[in-house]
Structure 1
Amino acid sequence: MGNISAVTDAQFDEQVLKSDKPVLVDFWAEWCGPCRQVAPILDEINAEHGEKITFLKMNVDENPVTPSSYRVTGIPTINVYQGGEVVKSIVGAKPKAALLKELADFI
């Protein structure tokens, strides 16, 4: 799906929590229709703003530990991590303009 790299439970600490710049993690699953709707939008935002914020995606079916520890109960959930903490959480599929507005502090 798109050009955003996947992150696993095992890599999460290193790639997300210890990152020098903000990291957006898209929690998704193959069977999730709204996840498929938001994926191309995130690809576009990544192409436009990827130098300011790192984009990653995590399949919740293959990696149950991290979503559980961050209380991700509905997908798509998009969390932005900065300094090892969740600084923004966006739940549900949203149009590009709404996502850009939500992410304005980071891009």
Structure 2
Amino acid sequence: MLCNKIPMIKLIDFWAPWCGPCKMMNPIIDELEKEFEGKVEFEKVNVDENPQMAAQFGVMSIPTFVVLKDDQEVGRKIGVTSKADLASLLKN
């Protein structure tokens, strides 16, 4: 019997509370969370509180958005970006 496994997609948002561009992206991330509810898992990682995770992903600037499919990186955007650009990463 074959099991059709749906790939798990996750967007990790690396940010910090003092980062102005990160704050600008918050409403866009909130909108994407609603649009992709049940299809994409969203995780916010504060780089000040989790420097080891930021280092693990090679994050040098924030905001950085990393898209994982089945725990493998399939896309990345650094800096302020459009909702459409992030959505296209999540759809591919």
Fold shared per TM-score above 0.5 = yes
Match of 2:73 in 1: 86
Give 5+ residue unaligned stretches, structure 2. 1-6
Distance (Å, rounded) in 2 between the aligned partners of 1:83 and 1:101: 17
Judging by fraction of residues, say which structure has more strand: 2
TM-score by length of 1: 0.74
Which residue, 84, 89, 92 being the options, matches 1:102? 89
Which residue, 57, 73, 91 being the options, matches 2:60? 73
Give 5+ residue unaligned stretches, structure 1. 1-19
Q: Secondary structure of the equivalent of 1:30?
A: coil
Match of 1:48 in 2: 35
Deviations 1:3-54 (CA, angstroms, capped at 9, x unpaired): xxxxxxxxxxxxxxxxx61111000000111100111101001101121110
Distance (Å, rounded) in 2 between the aligned partners of 1:56 and 1:63: 12
Distance (Å, rounded) in 1 between the aligned partners of 2:17 and 2:90: 24
Match of 1:16 in 2: none
TM-score by length of 2: 0.85
The aligned length equals 86
Q: Secondary structure of the equivalent of 1:56?
A: strand
1:30 aligns with 2:17: yes
Quick check: which has more Rg, 1 or 2?
2
Q: Percent identity?
A: 41
Structure 1 moving runs of 4+ over 3 Å: none
